[in-house]
């Protein structure tokens, strides 16, 4: 092994392997390992030019005969060795004399260390299992490698972030996570550690991470290189600020993003959309956005309104704008072979391919379809050109990028993209999907850009991605899981997040149990980054599929899903929260501004704002909505009071009652059906329930 230094950092060479450790912005380093003659130059999520930083390399000569090393025979031939330290502010990358890596903070405390179990007698871990920390193994007959990366575990560590997984726990320590995009699952491989560092697995390959008790292990069956980023900070806020500086921050949130979004499974016609918006305005209810969901087209891949169901779309959009309502249209990445766009896209290589079998019927729902390849710049430009002509030029400014994983048979070993095999690049698809629309709108001069996207990867935030949590169930369990999902997305650097209020799958508006769930979930939605009502609702109206000229058309829809659809009691409760949201606009506007400037999440676990309070690290049922408001959604039925932990060091005011509490304790908050427990910091001047 040979260790050298240069203007980029530290380079370890052993055989054909080259491990590079280099500064990557303040308090941060990037580590890459390749076993090819030329380095893979993909930066993946690390798209932003690193900010200048004052770094240096120090060396230390080590006496190899020191008793610490044990082993007289080894010491006889290796009397001395050299350790290297790349010091970059609060983070030091230490390369020991054997080439092992560890990361220390400014106090010399180990934050993260490679896990070696080597037979080498010079090792502290002189054990015979012979497991190296990093393995980049060639796959015979290819230029690809399997990759295992192992780090030491720490019993005291808590791990937060990693994107959106349908699970109960916020702390990811002790979990196994699939690095795969799926409906309701978004793999965003960045986490914040309670030890004071952030870690990005900068690799879009499909794989798995195990945050075990004995080690952390990243496993990738097929890739071209090892690539990760480590940053240190005294607080979670500082860590996320570093990370989002490296991967990008959200643009400014448009004003209509702060208000209420109305959506249901499907509005079938132009007139249905207008009738709903008119009814909101007739009742004097705030409404900023209405969504035209799937199958408003004739064929998938047309990316255009069905002229029979949506005649004069310009007139519809114009009338909505006059009411102060923006129009969202659903976009699917699927292209039907009968669509006029299929042939040109196939000829130009703009569709996804398979290594075996026929790519047709990949999605297969409502026609023979193939997904367009969002990793191909030409394909992104082609799709945007059609979208611009058929939607944007007619007045649409927000797009719902559905099926963004993309949803299809998850045979990652079979699909192939412009950027490479799906097994190596698949997780980046939702980011590139959002990128195409962001760049298209940016080219038109639009500055405040937002796209509703059903998945994300590291860096999606820079393209205005508002992620929602997919087709979740209508149940209290699902609601509890969405709380963890939303907070984890924020800690993974994706601050714009929402979910289908009331859940998507199921939910009968006439059922009293569902009405209770809806009241609770809707109240929670008032304190999410985006306040959006959606769901398929049951029972469906007649499930009618009509054969139209050129293709099949869904004419069925779910049951009603508007504010007045869930009974008079719920209507009054939900109406109340619409106006609370309106009252919070100035507060939320300022919160969104800080998010755009610093990368701080809109919703975040309590420890983000109170990192020195152990109780805040342990709490998983409450969160901060911006810097002043604490929210604890009720996620169980039949509740009239609800336990809420209040962080230490502050006095808190219960918004529903005006009661004052010292922090550092759990209190029984008022939580009847009309009330979500909300507390504000004393002195903030914020009033939630009062007029």
Return the residue matching tokens 């109780």: 615
471 is annotated as an active-site residue: yes
27, 336, 405, 536: the active-site residue: 405
Instruction: Note if 238 is an active site residue.
Output: no
H or E segment and range at residue 83: strand 80-88
Of the CA atoms within 13 Å of residue 373, those in its CB half-sphere come to 25
Secondary structure of 404-462 in HEC code, one letter for each residue = CCCCCCCCCCCEEECCEEHHHHHHHHHHHHHHHHHHHHHHCCCCCCCEEECCCCCCHHH
Marked catalytic residue, from 48, 135, 448, 471: 471
Q: Are 680 and 686 in contact (CB under 8 A)?
A: yes
Question: Checking DSSP bridges between strand 326-331 and strand 289-292, what pairing results, if any?
Answer: parallel
CA separation for the pair 647, 651 (Å, rounded): 9
Alpha helices in 585-691 (DSSP H): 585-598, 606-609, 614-618
Q: Which residues pair with 233 in a beta bridge?
A: none
- CA-CA distance, 581 to 498, in Å (whole number)? 15
CA distances for 180 relative to 185, 204, 229, 372, 451, angstroms = 8, 9, 20, 19, 21
* Cβ–Cβ under 8 Å, residues 545 and 255: no
Half-sphere exposure of 303 (CA within 13 A, CB side): 29
Residue 403 among the catalytic residues: no
Residues 6+ apart with CB under 8 A from 376: 349, 350, 417, 418, 419
Catalytic residue among 114, 293, 402, 600: 402
Length of the chain: 691
Task: Round to whole Å and give the CA distance between 687 and 674.
Answer: 16
Cβ(58)–Cβ(87) under 8 Å?
A: yes
**Beta strand spans in 480-639 (E):** 497-498, 531-533, 545-548, 551-554, 603-605, 623-625, 629-631
Reduced to 3 DSSP states, what percent helix, strand and coil does the chain have, rounded to the nearest 5? 25, 30, 45
Which of the residues are catalytic? 402, 405, 471
């Amino acid at each position: 092994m040979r260790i050298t230094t240069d203007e980029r950092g530290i380079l370890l060479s052993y055989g054909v392997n080259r491990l590079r450790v280099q500064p990557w912005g303040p308090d941060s380093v990037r580590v890459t390992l390749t076993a090819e003659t030329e380095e893979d130059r993909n930066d993946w999520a690390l798209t932003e030019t690193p900010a200048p930083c004052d770094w240096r390399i120090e060396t230390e000569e080590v006496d190899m005969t020191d008793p610490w090393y044990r082993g007289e025979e080894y010491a006889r031939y290796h009397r001395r060795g050299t350790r290297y330290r790349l010091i970059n502010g609060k983070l030091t990358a230490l390369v020991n004399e054997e080439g092992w890596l560890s990361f220390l903070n400014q106090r010399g405390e180990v934050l993260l260390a490679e896990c070696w179990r080597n037979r080498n007698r010079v090792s502290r871990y002189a054990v015979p299992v012979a497991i190296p920390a990093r393995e980049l193994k060639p796959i015979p007959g290819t230029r690809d490698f399997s990759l295992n990366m192992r780090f030491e575990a720490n019993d005291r560590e808590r791990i937060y972030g990693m994107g959106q997984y349908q699970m109960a726990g916020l702390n990811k320590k002790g979990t196994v996570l699939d690095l795969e995009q799926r409906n309701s699952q978004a793999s965003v491989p960045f986490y914040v550690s309670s030890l004071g560092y952030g870690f990005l697995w900068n690799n879009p390959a499909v794989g798995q991470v195990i945050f075990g008790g004995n080690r952390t292990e990243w496993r990738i069956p097929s890739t071209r290189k090892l690539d990760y980023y480590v940053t240190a900070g005294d607080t979670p806020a500082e860590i996320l600020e570093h990370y989002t500086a490296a991967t990008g921050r959200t643009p400014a949130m448009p004003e209509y993003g702060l208000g209420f979004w109305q959506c249901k499974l499907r509005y079938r016609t132009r007139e249905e959309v207008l009738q709903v918006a008119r009814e909101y305005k007739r009742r004097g209810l705030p409404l900023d956005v209405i969504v035209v969901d799937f199958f408003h087209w004739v064929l998938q891949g047309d990316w255009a309104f069905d002229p029979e169901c949506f005649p004069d779309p310009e007139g519809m959009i114009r009338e909505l704008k006059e009411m102060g309502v923006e129009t969202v249209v659903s976009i699917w990445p699927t292209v039907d072979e009968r669509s006029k766009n299929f042939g040109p896209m196939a000829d130009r290589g703009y569709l996804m391919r398979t290594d075996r079998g026929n790519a047709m019927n990949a999605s297969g729902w409502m026609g023979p379809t193939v997904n367009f390849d969002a990793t191909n710049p030409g394909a992104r430009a082609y799709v945007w050109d059609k979208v611009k002509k058929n939607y944007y030029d007619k007045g649409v400014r927000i797009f719902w990028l559905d099926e963004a994983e993309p949803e299809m048979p998850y045979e990652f070993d079979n699909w192939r993209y412009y950027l490479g095999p799906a097994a190596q690049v698949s997780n980046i698809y939702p980011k590139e999907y959002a990128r195409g629309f962001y760049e298209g709108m940016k080219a038109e001069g639009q500055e405040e850009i937002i796209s509703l996207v059903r998945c994300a990867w590291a860096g999606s935030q820079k393209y205005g991605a508002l992620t929602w949590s997919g087709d979740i169930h209508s149940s209290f369990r699902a609601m509890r899981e969405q709380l963890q999902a939303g907070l984890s997305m924020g800690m993974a650097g994706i601050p714009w997040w929402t979910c289908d209020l009331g859940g998507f799958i199921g939910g009968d508006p006439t059922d009293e149990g569902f009405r209770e769930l809806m009241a609770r979930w809707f109240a929670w939605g008032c304190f999410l980054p985006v306040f959006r009502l959606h769901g398929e609702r049951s029972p469906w109206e007649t499930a009618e599929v009509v054969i139209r000229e050129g293709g099949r058309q869904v004419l069925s829809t779910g049951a009603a899903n508007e504010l007045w659809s869930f009974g008079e009691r719920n209507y009054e409760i939900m109406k109340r929260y619409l106006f609370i949201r309106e009252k919070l606009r100035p507060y939320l506007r300022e919160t969104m501004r800080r998010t755009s400037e610093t990368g701080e999440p809109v919703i975040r676990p309590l420890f983000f704002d109170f990192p020195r309070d152990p109780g805040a690290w342990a709490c998983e049922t409450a969160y901060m909505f911006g810097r002043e408001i604490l929210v604890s959604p009720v996620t169980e039925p039949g509740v009239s009071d609800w336990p809420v932990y209040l962080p230490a060091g502050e006095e808190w005011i219960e918004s529903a009652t005006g009661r004052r509490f010292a922090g550092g304790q759990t209190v029984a908050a008022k939580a009847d059906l009309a009330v979500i427990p909300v507390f504000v910091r004393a002195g903030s001047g914020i009033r939630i329930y009062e007029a």
